[in-house]
Structures are given as C-alpha cells and as structure tokens.
C-alpha cells in the first residue's frame, strides 16, 4: 500500500502543481477527440439511413393489361420461387388507383386523368440478406424475364449510392482515427516530457536512492491515462450537448450507445497511457543521469 500510496500522491501532486499545463492538455485532447466522436455520430446516422433504405426496399413488377386470373397466379407462383424473395403481394388496378387518389388528393388532377390508367402489379419484398443494391438488382433481373411483365421498378440505385457513401465515410473514418491517435499521443507525450523536465531534480534524487519503475516512471504513465480519460469524459459531455441542441432540428446526430461510449473512453485512456510510455521510453539520456 505504501508504493501505491506514493503513486497516487505523486499523481495528485503533479495534477495540482501543474494545473495550467494539465488543463491545456485536457482541452487539446478534448478538441481532437470531439472531432472523432462527432464523425462517429455522423457515420452512425448514415449507417442507420442506409439500413432504413435497405429495410424498405421493395420491387414493383407491373403487368400487361388483360391478364386472366390464372396468368396472375402463375406469375405469383414463379415470383415466390425466385431466390431472395421473402413475400409477394398482388396490387390490382382498382387498389392502385385508390392508393393514387389517396396520395394525390387533388380532384382537378384526378378528373384530368380521366379513367384508371394504372396497371396491376406485384410488390416483392426481398429477404433480409437480399436487401441491398446487388440483391434487389438480381431479383429485378429475374422478374424482367417473366412473361406478361411490362416493367420492373426499384430503388436499388439509391441504395447502391448510399452504400458507396457509407464505404467512403468508413475509409475516411479510418484515416481520421489514425490522425486522432497520433494527435493524442503527441499531446500526452509533450505534457509528460514537460512534467518530467519540471521535476528533474527530484527524479535524480529518487534514482540515486534506488527508486525503481513504480517511483520514477509509473506516476507519469498514470498521469497520461488520467488526463486522456478526463478528456474523453469531457468530449462525451460536449457531444451530448450538441446532440441535445440538434434534437429538435432537421439535422439529427444519433448518440452512440453506452457500450460504444465506454469503449471510446477506454480507448482514450489507453492512448494516454501509450503516449506517456513513449515519452518516458524516448527521454534523452542526459535527463536520466
């Protein structure tokens, strides 16, 4: 307990004695980490939007006029046998017209149209593993080969573009994460070096008395971990404030889950520990003599 007590005492002494330096480090790391966390929130929102597009993905298969009931049943049976098809729903001409009237709600336009020009159709819903641009496109191409099919419509291209944007953002996130990692390591390393330089005299005395790792290096490693962890907590609070301020607006940033935020704080603490370790391990030899 004596050694651990010394560690905590030295940590508290460093944080209280160099308040300005520690505060500057916390603010610097918080600003860097906030960029990463906000980007993660944007990326989460894009992922959610893409998943919604994929979950709503349906294929409309329009039929030729004048088909008999048996022809419709044959087409329905062949659609159900296709790979990737989850459900098939028939929409008659009258049902399509009633839906059109409900959506338009403009009597003048409806009178201008005259009769019911809409064809009967099938609405095909893909299975979950096919609810992406490639899966929907494969079902649509199969449906186009069926007899009595006039046209096939789907929003696969929109899903494809959303998936491309998501992949690009994930790649940007990987690069941004690397830049953030380097930034945190640099800030923590600079803070640790300044703290050690300010205590060179006491550090030399401890080393001359045979003080080992726990008395010489461990306080600085703990300092880096604590500063980075505090920075991550401040970052999460700032992100929460931004999230709440945008909650009623048109642009909404989803807040990550508690598990993700805990992982974010743990990652920041480990980066702080690593930055301090690198700073201690690469000290000039003249500092240690």
Final residue of a domain: which of 88, 118, 153?
153
Question: Stretch 157-179: mean pLDDT, rounded?
Answer: 75
Final residue of a domain: which of 110, 134, 153?
153
Give me the pLDDT at residue 129, please. Answer: 82
Buried b (16+ CB within 10 A) or exposed e, 94-131: eebbeeeeeeeeeeeeeeeeeeeebbbbbebbbeeebb
Give me the pLDDT at residue 288, please. Answer: 46
Residues paired with residue 85 on neighbouring β-strands, in sequence order: 126
pLDDT for 287 beyond 50: no
Q: Are residues 185 and 283 in the same domain?
A: yes
Confidence of residue 176 (pLDDT cuts 50, 70, 90): confident
Q: Measured between alpha carbons, how far is 236 from 242 in angstroms, rounded to an integer?
A: 10
Q: Measured between alpha carbons, how far is 237 from 219 in angstroms, rounded to an integer?
A: 27
Give me the pLDDT at residue 107, please. Answer: 62
Confidence of residue 191 (pLDDT cuts 50, 70, 90): confident
Residue 111 structural domain: 58-153
Q: Measured between alpha carbons, how far is 27 from 261 in angstroms, rounded to an integer?
A: 19
Q: Are residues 101 and 65 in the same domain?
A: yes
Residue 86 CB neighbours (<10 A): 14
Mean confidence (pLDDT) of the chain = 76
CATH number at residue 68: 3.30.70.3040
Provide the number of structural domains found in the chain.
Answer: 2
Q: Are residues 23 and 136 in the same domain?
A: no
């Amino acid at each position: 307990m004596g050694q651990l007590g010394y560690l905590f005492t030295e940590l508290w002494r460093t944080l209280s004695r160099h308040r300005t330096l520690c505060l500057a480090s916390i603010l610097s790391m918080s600003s860097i980490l906030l960029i990463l966390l906000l980007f993660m929130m944007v990326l989460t929102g894009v992922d959610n939007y893409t998943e919604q597009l994929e979950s709503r993905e349906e294929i409309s298969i329009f039929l030729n006029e004048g088909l008999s009931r048996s022809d419709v049943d044959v087409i329905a049976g062949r659609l159900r046998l296709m790979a990737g098809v989850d459900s098939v729903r028939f929409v008659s001409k009258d049902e399509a017209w009633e839906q059109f009237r409900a959506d338009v709600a403009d009597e003048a336009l409806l009178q201008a149209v005259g009769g019911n020009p809409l064809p009967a159709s099938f609405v095909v819903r893909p299975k979950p593993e096919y609810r992406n641009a490639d899966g929907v496109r494969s079902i649509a191409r199969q449906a186009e080969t069926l007899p009595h099919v006039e046209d096939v419509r789907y929003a696969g291209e929109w899903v494809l573009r959303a998936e491309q944007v998501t992949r690009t953002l994930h790649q940007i996130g990987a690069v941004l994460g690397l830049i953030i990692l380097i930034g945190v390591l640099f800030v923590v390393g600079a803070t640790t070096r300044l703290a050690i330089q300010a205590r060179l005299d006491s550090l030399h005395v401890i080393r001359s008395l045979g003080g080992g790792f726990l008395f010489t290096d461990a306080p600085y490693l703990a300092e880096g971990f604590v500063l980075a962890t505090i920075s991550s907590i401040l970052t999460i609070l700032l992100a929460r404030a931004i999230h709440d301020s945008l909650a009623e607006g048109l642009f909404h940033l989803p807040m990550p889950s508690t598990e993700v935020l805990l992982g974010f704080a743990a990652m920041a603490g480990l980066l702080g520990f690593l930055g301090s370790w690198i700073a201690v391990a690469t000290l000039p030899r003249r500092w240690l003599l």
